[in-house]
Structures are given as structure tokens and as C-alpha cells.
Amino acid sequence: MKRLGPGLILALVVGFAFLYLPILALIAYSFNASRLVTVWGGFSTHWYVTLMSNEPLLDAAWLSIRLAFVAATVATALGTLAALALARHGAFRGRTLFTGMVLAPLVMPEVITGLSLLLLFVAADVERGFWTVTIAHATFCLGFACIVVQSRLAGFDRSLEEAAQDLGATPFVTFWTVTLPLIWPAVAAAWMLAFTLSLDDLVIASFTTGPGATTLPMRLYSAIRLGVSPEINAACTIMIGAVAVAVIVASLLMKRDRLAGG
Amino acid sequence: MSARDDAAAAGPGKRKASPGSVRRAFQPWNDPAARPLVSFRNVAKRFGTVTAVDDLSLSLYPREFFALLGPSGCGKTTLMRMLAGFETPDAGEILLDGVDITKVPPHQRPVNMMFQSYALFPHLSVQANIAYGLKREGLPKPEIDRRVEEMLALVKLDGLGKRRPDQLSGGQRQRVALARSLAKRPKLLLLDEPMAALDRKLRESTQFELMDLQSELGLTFMVVTHDQDEAMTMADRMAVMSHGKLVQIGPPDVIYEAPANRYVAEFVGDINVIEGRVSAVAGDLVTLESPVAGTVELDEETLALKPGEAIFVGLRPEKISLSHDEPEQGVNKVAGEIWDIGYLGDFTMVQVMVGGDDGHLLKVALANRSRRIERPFAWEDKVWLSWDVEAGLVLPP
């Protein structure tokens, strides 16, 4: 291991401080006994208790979780199929176009994705609410899921699938008994990632939602506009915790998968 | 395997020997009434601009151990994959037991394959790997368990059924792959480079075990290999492939002793190739003048050679004798100087330069029958090479 010089250590500390100090401040103030966000009044879990009786916030959280669950599941299923198509069918006609179209949402500004989906839903005269947000989230998470699964399939030994077919398995049975059990860590990681992305999203949800379907980030954002309360800090702390756990689990799954696949 | 024993007893096959004159216990390919198990009929396969298999026809017979030998890229793997159903021919048809299987998908073919990488399912135990094909047949559980135990005993892996593939040695993995491909009792077993991942000692014993297993179970095996020792040891018949075509098909001894052309002669075993011009033909006896080896006489009747014709003659290294004194025979001898000696334990490969320093290097194989470390020949010795009239063979280009 190469030792870092003092300059590099300073750069590292400043960089991480810039990234994580605000979050740490937010977490710290969620345990603040004072009502004023910027004045420390001693340690308290008071705001977590009041949070539990904040019905609108809890409703929004429950809606976000259900929505993220459905959106992540749809995105992972479709993303896995897209990854299989990309990994398996070699240089089919239109491959570049297909790849580009699957992965475009990754780099597309969220405002554009949100606006275009809104226009679509308006044009199609769809009542906006839970399902329109779910569809929108599934759409932009699909590309992420596809990339995660595709990286696993790149190192996949095709002869395993051929062996299964040689032993009498139809392509469908081969997928369920050989392919999926071998790529499931990547599929699970893709699901975790999609779930987190959906849970976090504010912009696309704002564009595509309707009355009665307010997600947690939207509820928090509107609450902040009326003034920041430590209760919001508490809600955010819980969310950070949930997302951190999901991301860590996803990366552990991918790491384990790499070890198994290598 | 009795076919081979008989072939060995009959001595090296000479090209002039007609098929019936060498008694073989097992040679359905010479029996017009025998029904082939597999027939390739004018099969062709192209990948882009590369022709992998070129208008190829071939028949395999029940209980035959057939080896497909060729350098990498010659199309042998493609041919096998077409039989398994992983590639579809562009032209021609493939019959299995008289049924056209050209368009049948792999999972519906009564053919199983042992993959070069073994392709064991890493997430399943050894038992579950072997049971995989049986489950797909929908056999009842007790029957599957019984067959799995039977297969484990057959490949001598009793008691290892609960292990995962990554807990096994290379040789054990190979046995699991074999057991898995045999579990469904296929009409035909395809083996893709089955020994490639084994070390030399293990390879040798496994070859004989595989042969025993094949004759015991009465199955038909087709093995694809680039290793000629493997092909010659195991096969009843072998085919030498080049650029998508079969160059020669025959029992290993015929391929070695009577290669169809220069390509086969050079691919299978070691051979010295010398140029010459026919000077006289008297019955079976052909006399030629070679700038390298002087006057050469050889026994050859199948090729109608005419005086004046330029030909290539092949001489296997083990069929040449080496001596310090000039041999008494008048022809089939040449003087030279030893340039190199390669001691290989069982025999020594001597390279002799004939026709001066810029001449031609000929290889001579000497069997090391004595344990004496002092060898009768040394570097820079002046020696004589000589051979029988039966040793030389004419190689069509």
C-alpha cells in the first residue's frame, strides 16, 4: 500500500467533508431538542416521536415505498430481459440504437424525462396518480437495472446454458434453472438500485403525479418551503439510513457475485 | 477393446492390404449391410465469409468410438455442435438412426455432450448436476436417485454426491461431467476435447477408462480432439479434418501407416518428407532418384506412377536405422552427420544432416532398449541412415 502524502490527505479530508458534513449536520440536528434548526438545545429523540404521529408524512412514506417496490420490480424484470437481449444476440440489426435507447434515461436530464412523460400522459388522457409515477419510475430505472445485469452476463459461461439444453431443458426451463440462479445477485442488486432511485426521486414524480399521490420526497420538499423543522431532519435521517442500507446490500451482492463469477 | 487388439496382431496396415485381408472384429464401416447411427449428408456451414464445414458427408456406426482430429479452426467443433443442435447447417442434412434431425432443437435430441469446460452447474451439487437431465425427463424421484447413484458408481465418485463442483479436483469434475452426460443413456455421446484440462498421467488412465466404459455400455462415442495420441489411443476410426473437409477416415493404424496425402502424414505423427523423381516402375517396386537420399526403392501399387514423375516420399523416423558402418544394402541408404540428439527417455530423436551442411535434416527415432547412459551415437558423428523397401510411402500432395 502506498502511503499518502500530507497534501493528498488534506484533499481527501476536504473532499469528504464537503460531501458528508451537510448530511452529518442534518443527522445531528434531527436529535436536537430545540425547535430552532440552527441552535443546539441538547440531545433528544423528540422529533422522531412526533414524526410517528405526522399522518401526511407517514402516508407519503408508505406510498413511496409501495411505488418504489412496484417500479423497481417492473424495471428489474424489463432491464434483465433487455440485458439478456444485448448479451445474447450479438450484433443484431439495430443493436446500437437499442442500447442507446435503453440507456438514454441514465443521462437524460430528469426535467426532460419528467416533462415528456407528463405530455404523454396528458395526450393519452391518463388520470395522473400512483400508476403514472410508477410507470415513469420504472422507465428511468430500467436503464440502471439493465447495466447492472448486463455486466454480470458479460462474464457468463454460455456453455452452461448449452449444457442445460443438451440435457433436455427448453430455453425457458434453462433460464429458470440455470441462468437466473447464477445471475440472481446481479438481479437483486439491480432491484435494490432501482428501489433506491425511485424512493429518492423528486423531479420526475412531481411532473407525473396527480392529486392524492404525493411521494415522500415531494412531501418533504413542500414542508421545507413552509420552513425547516427538525421533524424533517428526522424523516431525512431515516431515509438516508434506508437508502444507505439498500446501497450497501446491493454493492455487497455485486461483489459476492464477482467473486462467484470470477 | 478387441478391435484394436486384432489390428495390432495383424501388424501395421499396409496400403496394399485390401479391407478384407486384415481381420478386424469390429468394422461396420466395411459392411454394406450395416446401418449407420449418424449420417452427415453434404453438410455445409458458413460463418460470414468463413466456411467452417464444406459439403461434408460422414457416417458413424452404432458402438463405434470415433475421433475427429484436426488443428484448431478446421471445423471439427462446428461439426460436433451441429450434431448436438447448437448450430444449424446451411445445407445438407443430418440423420440420427434414420431420422432427419437437422432442424430438431438441442433439448429434443437423444444426443448428449460432454463440454470441454465441463459446464458443470456451479450452483448445484454433484448429485443435482447428474440428476438435471433426468429431472427434465420427468422421471419419478426414486428412479432419479437410483440412476444418480448408479452413475456415481460408474465413474467411481461414490460418496461425493453432496459436494459442489468447486470442491472437486479437475479429474473429479471431468468424471461428473461424464456421468451427467451419460445419465440419460444417450444414443450418441459427444465429447469435446475431453482430456484437454487433465495432466498427462491422469489423461492416459482416463483414456483407457473411457474406452472401457464405452464398450461396457455399448454406446457410440464421438470425440473431438486436436491431440493425436488421444485420438489414436481411443478411436476405432478417426477422421483427419482440414479446412472444413475430411481428408482421410480410417482406423488409427491405417491413418498412420498409409496416410492419404502429405497433410495427413505430417499432421499425424512425425515424418521426413523427401523429394524424388521416379526412374523405374516394375510391378509393385518403384525406384526413384532423390537429390537428398539417393536411390530409393519402395513398395507401392495403388498409385499408378510413371517414370519421370516428381513425387514426395515420406519416411517415419522410427522406420529408419542408424549405423556407423555403411549398410550392405545397395539402395535406401544415405550418409550424414548428426546435428542434434534429443533424449526423450523411451526413445531418442536424432537429427541427421544429409547432403552436406546446407542439405536436409532427417529425423531418426531410436528406441532406448538399454539402460546404458553412454549412447552409441554422439554429436557430429558420421553415420549412415538406411530403411526397408516397405518403409517409404508415396505422398500425394
Cα–Cα distance for residue pair A160/A37, rounded to 1 Å: 59
Regarding beta strands B220-225 and B237-242, do their DSSP bridges make them parallel or antiparallel, or are they unpaired? Answer: unpaired
What are the backbone angles phi and psi of residue B273, rounded to the nearest 5°?
A: -110, 125
C-alpha cell at B227: 491431440
How much is the pLDDT for B21?
A: 41
Contact of A193 with A79, CB cutoff 8 Å? no
Q: Distance from B58 to chain A by nearest Cα, in Å?
A: 22
Q: Which string of b and e fits A201-223 if b means at least 16 CB within 10 Å?
A: bebbbbbbbeeebbbbbbbbeeb
Q: Do B122 and A182 touch (CB under 8 A)?
A: yes
How much is the pLDDT for B24?
A: 54
Contact of A80 with A147, CB cutoff 8 Å? no
| CATH number of residue B288's parent domain | 2.40.50.140
B121 to chain A, any CB pair closer than 8 A? The answer is yes
Residues 133-162 of A with CB under 8 A from B: 157, 159-160, 162
Q: To which H or E segment does residue A131 belong?
A: helix A130-154
Regarding beta strands B65-69 and B188-192, do their DSSP bridges make them parallel or antiparallel, or are they unpaired? Answer: unpaired
In this complex, which of B119, B123, B184 lies closest to A163 when CB atoms are compared? B119
Q: Is B353 helix (H, G, I), strand (E, B) or coil?
A: strand
How much is the pLDDT for A259?
A: 58
Q: Which residue of B has its CA nearest to A179?
A: B121
Does residue A210 surpass a pLDDT of 70?
Answer: yes
B117 to chain A, any CB pair closer than 8 A? The answer is yes
**B45 and B98 in one domain?**
yes
Residue ending a domain, among B266, B300, B321, is B266
Closest CA to A192 of A138, A135, A256, A243: A243
> Could you give the number of structural domains in chain B?
2
Q: Is B23 helix (H, G, I), strand (E, B) or coil?
A: coil
How much is the pLDDT for B203?
A: 86
Residues 162-181 of A with CB under 8 A from B: 162-171, 173, 177-178, 181
Domain presence at residue B134? no
Cα–Cα distance for residue pair B250/B127, rounded to 1 Å: 39
Q: Do A260 and B133 touch (CB under 8 A)?
A: no
- Give the strand order in the sheet containing B91-96: B50-60, B38-47, B91-96, B99-100
Cα–Cα distance for residue pair A233/A248, rounded to 1 Å: 22
Domain presence at residue B274? yes
**B290 and B228 in one domain?**
no
Predicted complex ipTM exceeds 0.90: no
Q: Is A149 helix (H, G, I), strand (E, B) or coil?
A: helix
| CATH number of residue B84's parent domain | 3.40.50.300
The whole-number average pLDDT for the span A242-262 is 74
Domain presence at residue B300? yes
Residue count (chain A)? 262
Cα–Cα distance for residue pair B3/B385, rounded to 1 Å: 35
Report CA A68 to chain centroid distance, whole Å. 8
**B317 and B338 in one domain?**
yes
DSSP B303: S
Cα–Cα distance for residue pair B65/B247, rounded to 1 Å: 19
Least trusted range by pLDDT, from A78-82, A117-121, B164-168, B206-210 = B206-210
The whole-number average pLDDT for the span A22-44 is 81
List, in order, residues 6 or more apart from B71 with CB less than 8 Å away. Answer: B226, B242, B267
Q: Which residue of A has its CA nearest to B177?
A: A163
**B293 and B201 in one domain?**
no
* Radius of gyration for the alpha carbons in chain A, expressed in angstroms and rounded: 22
Q: What is the set of domains in chain A, with CATH numbers?
A: 46-261 (1.10.3720.10)
**B197 and B332 in one domain?**
no
Contact of B257 with B101, CB cutoff 8 Å? no
**B254 and B287 in one domain?**
no
Query: What count of CB pairs under 8 Å joins A to B?
Result: 61
In this complex, which of B121, B133, B184 lies closest to A160 when CB atoms are compared? B121
Q: Do A169 and B132 touch (CB under 8 A)?
A: yes
How much is the pLDDT for A236?
A: 85
What are the backbone angles phi and psi of residue B123, rounded to the nearest 5°?
A: -90, 0
Domain presence at residue B157? no
**B78 and B205 in one domain?**
yes
Cα–Cα distance for residue pair A174/B255, rounded to 1 Å: 41
In this complex, which of A166, A178, A182 lies closest to B113 when CB atoms are compared? A166
Domain presence at residue B179? no
**B248 and B320 in one domain?**
no
Residue ending a domain, among B220, B242, B266, is B266
Q: Which string of b and e fits A51-88 if b means at least 16 CB within 10 Å?
A: beebeebeebbebbbebbbbbbebbbbbbbebbbbbbe
Domain presence at residue B79? yes
Pick out chain B residues at pLDDT < 50.
1-23
How much is the pLDDT for B73?
A: 86
Contact of A141 with A194, CB cutoff 8 Å? yes
Q: Which string of b and e fits A167-197 if b means at least 16 CB within 10 Å?
A: bbbeeeebbebbbeebbebbbbbbbbbbbbb
In this complex, which of A157, A159, A168 lies closest to B136 when CB atoms are compared? A168
DSSP B29: G
**B361 and B287 in one domain?**
yes
Regarding beta strands B220-225 and B188-192, do their DSSP bridges make them parallel or antiparallel, or are they unpaired? Answer: parallel
Cα–Cα distance for residue pair A212/B202, rounded to 1 Å: 72
What range does the domain containing B45 cover? 2-110+186-266
Closest CA to B300 of B319, B317, B280: B280
- The CA distances from residue B284 to A187, B297, B304, B365, in Å, are 73, 10, 10, 27
Q: To which H or E segment does residue B153 belong?
A: helix B141-154
How much is the pLDDT for A254?
A: 75
Instruction: Tell the residue number behind the cell numbers 431532519, with chain if given.
Output: A233
**B199 and B106 in one domain?**
yes
List, as own/partner pairs, every contact residues A151-154 make where C-beta atoms lie below 8 angstroms and the sequence separation is at least 24, other chains included: A151/A186, A152/A183, A152/A185, A152/A186, A152/A257, A152/A261, A153/A83, A153/A84, A153/A87, A153/A88, A153/A183, A153/A186, A154/A87
Domain presence at residue B302? yes
Cα–Cα distance for residue pair A75/A192, rounded to 1 Å: 11
Cα–Cα distance for residue pair B71/A159, rounded to 1 Å: 21
**B100 and B37 in one domain?**
yes
**B282 and B384 in one domain?**
yes
Contact of B368 with B348, CB cutoff 8 Å? yes
Domain presence at residue B165? no
How much is the pLDDT for B19?
A: 43
